[in-house]
Amino acid sequence: MNISGFSVENAGKLYRACGNCTNSFQRHVVVSNIRATSTKVIAGINTNWGDTARFSNITIVGDSSHKTIICDKYKGVPKGSEPSHIGSGPDSTNCLYNPDTDIHWV
């Protein structure tokens, strides 16, 4: 999935890969040229299923404390269970971005 040239405001998450669907499979999202205001999380993925999220040119507006989470990581589970949160932030496998060049706080 590609999300580009989009503005989001007052949202919990812009994107979340299903973590407990009937059919679980690997998902990949590319998020670019996004402007986010009052949004808690830009993307949530399931690392145990090999999901990836790649980010570039993300502008976070009005968050001087940098609380907006760019990439949340979960452990996907079978239907009927709840996925567990296992971390957040960039890495070299699933959450692909450089916080110094790909994320802009204004």
pLDDT per residue over 12-71, tens digit each? 999 999 999 888 889 999 999 999 999 999 999 999 999 999 999 999 999 999 999 999
In order of 31, 40, 43, 64, 70, the CA distances from 47 in angstroms are 17, 19, 12, 29, 15
Tell me which amino acid residue 27 is. Answer: R
- What class, spelled out in words, does domain 2-105 have in CATH? mainly beta
Task: Give DSSP secondary structure letters for 71-102.
Answer: EEEEE---TTS-PEEEEES--SSSEE--TTTT
Beta strands 69-75 and 2-16: pairing type? unpaired
What are the pLDDT digits (tens) for 72-82?
A: 999 999 998 99
The domain spans of the chain are 2-105
